[in-house]
Amino acid sequence: MLKCTRSIYEYDRILFGIKEVNMKHLNLKLDEENIEYILENNFINRNKYIASFLKLINGIKENKIIALDGEWGSGKTWFVKSLEYLVNSEINNKLNIVNNEIMENIKSNYMVIYYNAWENDDAESAMLSLIYKLTNDSCLQKEKNEVGVIPRLLNTIIKYVTNGSVDIKEDIFGDQWNNKQITDCIKTSEEIKETFKEIIDNLLIENKNRLLIIIDEIDRCKPTFAIELLENIKHFYNDDRIIFLVTTNNKELANSVCKVYGEKYNGSLYLDRFFDINLELPNNYIQDYIQAIDKGANSSNFHFKACRELAKENNLTMREYNRYLNSMESIKNNLIGEYSYLSLFANYILIPIAMELRIKDKNTYYEFIKGKSFNIIEKLVRNNEFFYRLGRKILSQKNNSSITNIYSKPITEDEKSILEEDEIIKILEKTYKGLLGKENMDEEQWEYNNILLEILDIISLFN
């Protein structure tokens, strides 16, 4: 068995003359301090999209349900919480993200309410859960003697939804309710719409002229809760003073629709009936995000340089990239420490690819570790300069004379480059299939195979 006498980072410094750096990601706690920090630094150039959205709603004068589509982990929650903070604070005066005239118009007209659907999907009624959120900050936190008409309207809705089995008057408002007239139980959906309208009237009387209600993470909810919430929004909140911004992964939400109405149901067409406007959060941010984590790419260790290149090639989301870095960091002491062309191949190509696939595409991961997906490596070498240079270094360690022979031939430089690339592909394919496919392994490969399988067993535990 090979003995790992040096850490992978020691070999980075020895082989490539580079410094070790502490990897730091931007997976921050979502609070006002960090929101302001993200807005101020604009790491992934999202501020311009926040400004564009505010310009959009500034020109809308009627009821709209807007979908903000994006993959899981693409930063949708950070986007809408930043939007909420921008409207509810004075930070725009400092950062000038949005034109001051537009910002002041929005601030004077819009009351912004954030509702995390996923955190509330254990509620029995989606309708009541949202109503509680709408009323919580305005009336339910007031002193009892200040409570106005909204609680009575809320009690009416609760009685309607629960067929009279729940009544909040005694639990929440106590004796003061005895002197107030309680609206009779509502019997029809038209009456419930009118009650909702009265609630919105009373919310806006003391606050603003319009409501921006942000519904976040609806695609992560139980399918029945998600569909009930959408349908309630469509049927009961048809008020020109309200704009809904629903963050979602439309593909996953369409799957939820199918789980409720049947696999043959067209989930995407169903969603088109609900959303008046479909927006997509651009996903071209991963390179900016990587640069924000480690601006000094040249001073980073070679191992994480491989991770960064793979993240860019496969367009990982921010959440996936954070998981990827954390996962690679956790196995760094298990990597192969002996220096040879095999350790270069395993540490900088095979293992980073295996972990990335384990996070991004488990089916392909299992094919890859069986030695059946060399095309992944070939594509990287032919299209990515970092992996091409790494492949050339592996070739030179295995058989340096092959490179010398190529460049001694009386052919053009382009032809030499083509031959060199073919030689790199050939040695990498042979090494890959030898280590994982166990094809024509020599004694050295047998020893590395044992270590590599142990590392892959660890990677297979990750989810």
- Token pair in block for residue 49: 């999209």
| Angle, in degrees to the nearest 10, between helices 374-383 and 413-435 | 150
Range 32-280 has CATH code 3.30.300.30 = no
Please state whether the predicted TM-score (pTM) of the whole model is above 0.85: no
Q: Per-domain residue ranges for the chain?
A: 8-24+298-459, 32-280
Instruction: Compute φ and ψ for 337, nearest 5 degrees.
Output: -95, -20
What pLDDT score was predicted for residue 206? 61
Cα separation, 280 vs 401, whole angstroms: 52
- Token pair in block for residue 212: 């921006």
Cα separation, 2 vs 447, whole angstroms: 7
Instruction: Compute φ and ψ for 82, nearest 5 degrees.
Output: -65, -40
What pLDDT score was predicted for residue 18? 34
Instruction: Compute φ and ψ for 90, nearest 5 degrees.
Output: -105, 15
What pLDDT score was predicted for residue 181? 35
Cα separation, 26 vs 459, whole angstroms: 24
Cα separation, 218 vs 117, whole angstroms: 5
| Angle, in degrees to the nearest 10, between helices 267-274 and 223-236 | 30
Q: Are strands 110-116 and 64-69 parallel, antiparallel or unpaired?
A: unpaired
Residue (of 306, 297, 385) closest to 345 by Cα position: 306
Question: From first to last of its 463 residues, what are the pLDDT tens digits of the chain?
Answer: 343 434 434 434 333 333 333 334 556 788 888 899 889 988 888 899 999 999 999 999 999 999 999 888 788 999 999 999 999 999 999 999 999 999 999 999 998 999 999 988 888 778 778 877 877 755 533 444 444 555 555 565 555 555 554 454 444 444 433 333 333 343 456 666 777 777 788 777 666 889 999 999 998 888 899 998 998 888 878 889 999 999 999 888 898 889 888 888 888 888 888 899 999 987 767 777 877 776 544 444 667 788 889 998 998 888 888 889 889 888 888 777 667 888 889 889 999 999 999 998 999 999 999 999 999 999 999 999 999 999 999 998 887 788 888 888 888 988 988 999 999 999 999 989 888 877 666 666 777 777 888 888 999 988 7
